[in-house]
Structure 1
Amino acid sequence: MLVSNMATTLSGAGFFWAFLSMVTATLCCTGYYLPYWLHGTMLNATDVYFGTFRRCNYPRVDDDGAVVVVNECGRYTTLADVPSLSWQICAVVVGVGCGLLLLVGFTAIFACCISDVVSKGAARVGGVLQLLAGVLVAAGCALYPNGWNSREVMEACGQLSQAYKLGTCRISWSYYMSCIGAVLSIICFCLSFKATRGKSTIYTARV
């Protein structure tokens, strides 16, 4: 009796797609979580860093009424505490984009080891999700500078700081990681169309 065994495996481009998918997800998620998007200084030239929902080193009034800088990193308690509406939107859209990239990345890695995890159609859906994620991350990166006119940023970047105008601050490396991740997600989208081989039919004789 002839038995048809239909199997779908990743192509050579598919293995590269899986690897690049995880690299892209790692870059975006790391850039999103670490608060090194914007670098400024305040009291006594202390370095201050801002992310979308976290910051490092912030001023606090001590028991004597003096303003001191607390040298630690932390996140804002709620989304409403994030000092700019643009940053609040940025935190949400980039977070959603990172979640999509992680979902596709882990699925693609599993497909390297397990048959039939990703079909040709599923790979294309994954690519579309990566394209959507890239657009969300890129939109967040484009929107982030619109929040440079907030009070907290002006304290670290000077009164010349305005929307899309840095003042005395400079862009830091987490922001660049997120931007690179957004570009790579578009490359992943293109690779997803070549990620799988066509279904092959294997016939075996069974007595």
Structure 2
Amino acid sequence: MVAQTTVNMEVNQYTETVKVFHTNYVRNYRAVGVMWGIFTICFALINIVVFIYPQWIGDTRESVGAGYFGLYEHCRIVTGGGLLCYGNFGDFTHILSAAFKGATFFIGFSALLSLVTIVAMLLFFFMSTKIVFFICGVLQLGSTICMFLGCVIYPSGWTNEHVMAVCGNAGAYEIGKCGVRWSYILAILGIFDAMMLCILAIVLATRQAKLKPTGYTSKAYENGYIEKNGHVIQPVMMPHDGYSDYSSPSEPIRNGTTKSKKRNRKDFTL
């Protein structure tokens, strides 16, 4: 009876410990998930800004001309301080080079995937958290790859005559006398941002704490043992000391065997 009470106390203590651990884990899990969602929205905004603004490369004090270039749009500063911009995302024929067209496609597709990731967050209300995080992680992986390809392809288009008119002796992956501007730098940082968000989404999809049922008992208890402070206590079997229904009373001895008492003839009566 005492052993059973001790076991019940151990089980109750274990159950309460599991509940506390589970509560703390879920709280931290949700906090990390909220941070992941916020940074995902920030990455989408960065991706859109990088795609729209033509500030990838531009003139410096040593440049031959004055102007700056983006993915699909480029601007020139004319005499008198006027600004002339050319290029439209809807018309690829006005994009300066094939490399710029490829970079425009990949960066634009990356922005689209980032927006789809935000929309996919609505699935948290209808589907399992594990599945939604996995879907978002795959979308962010695609966005990372597209952003990387766009940043790598873009410098190969610096051989265009319009770029050389501003940057001087420029070439493929040679910027000449121009300089890298904030949009290009932000796009490169976006690659690492998207990669970290992708990894975090996959981790959140694979690590979820499940609360064990209230009546959960340890394996040691199920096998007939008591577990206390990490040590297994095996119950000790005591020899039976009593009178048998079909034999004479017995006396226990130290070696675990018993010996029968000799009956006295005076105990026998008719």
TM-score (norm 2): 0.59
SS in 1 for 2:44: helix
Q: How far apart, CA to CA, are the structure 2 residues paired with 1:72 and 1:200?
A: 64
Matched, 1:100 2:110: no
- Structure 2: runs of 5+ lacking an equivalent: 1-26, 213-270
- Alpha-carbon separation, structure 2, partners of 1:83 and 1:193: 39
Match of 1:3 in 2: none
For the Cα contact (< 8 Å) 1:57–1:72, is it kept in 2?
yes
- CA change 1:103–1:11 in 2 (3 A) is same
Number of aligned residues? 183
How much does 1:13 deviate? 1.7
Normalising to structure 1: TM-score of the pair? 0.76
Pick one of 1, 7, 16 that aligns with 2:35: 16
Match of 2:131 in 1: 121
Q: Does 1:53 align with 2:62?
A: no
Q: Which runs of 5+ in 1 are unaligned?
A: 1-8, 60-66, 202-207
- In structure 1, the residue matched to 2:19 is none
C-alpha separation in 2, matches of 1:27 and 1:75: 21
Structure number with larger C-alpha Rg: 2
Q: Counterpart of 2:172 in structure 1: which amino acid?
A: A
Write the deviation string for residues 66-99 of structure 1: whole angstroms up to 9, x where unpaired. x887414453372022111000011011100110
1:11 to partner: Cα distance: 2.2
**Cα distance in 1 between the residues matched to 2:102 and 2:211:** 46
- Of 78, 88, 94 in structure 1, the residue corresponding to residue 91 of structure 2 is 78
Instruction: Indicate how the Cα distance of structure 1 residues 26 and 192 shifts in structure 2: closer, same or farther if over 3 A, else same.
Output: same
Amino-acid identity (%): 23
C-alpha contact (below 8 Å) 1:153/1:161 kept by paired residues: yes
Q: In the alignment, which of 152, 157, 173 is matched to residue 162 of structure 2?
A: 152
Aligned counterpart, 2:148:
138
Instruction: Report the counterpart of residue 186 of structure 1 in structure 2.
Output: 195
What amino acid does structure 2 have at the position aligned with 1:22?
Answer: I
Q: CA RMSD in A?
A: 3.1
Deviation track 1:117-166 (CA, whole Å, cap 9, x = no partner) reads 663112111111101111111110011000000011001101x1000001
Higher relative contact order by CA 8 Å / sep ≥ 6: 1 or 2? Answer: 1
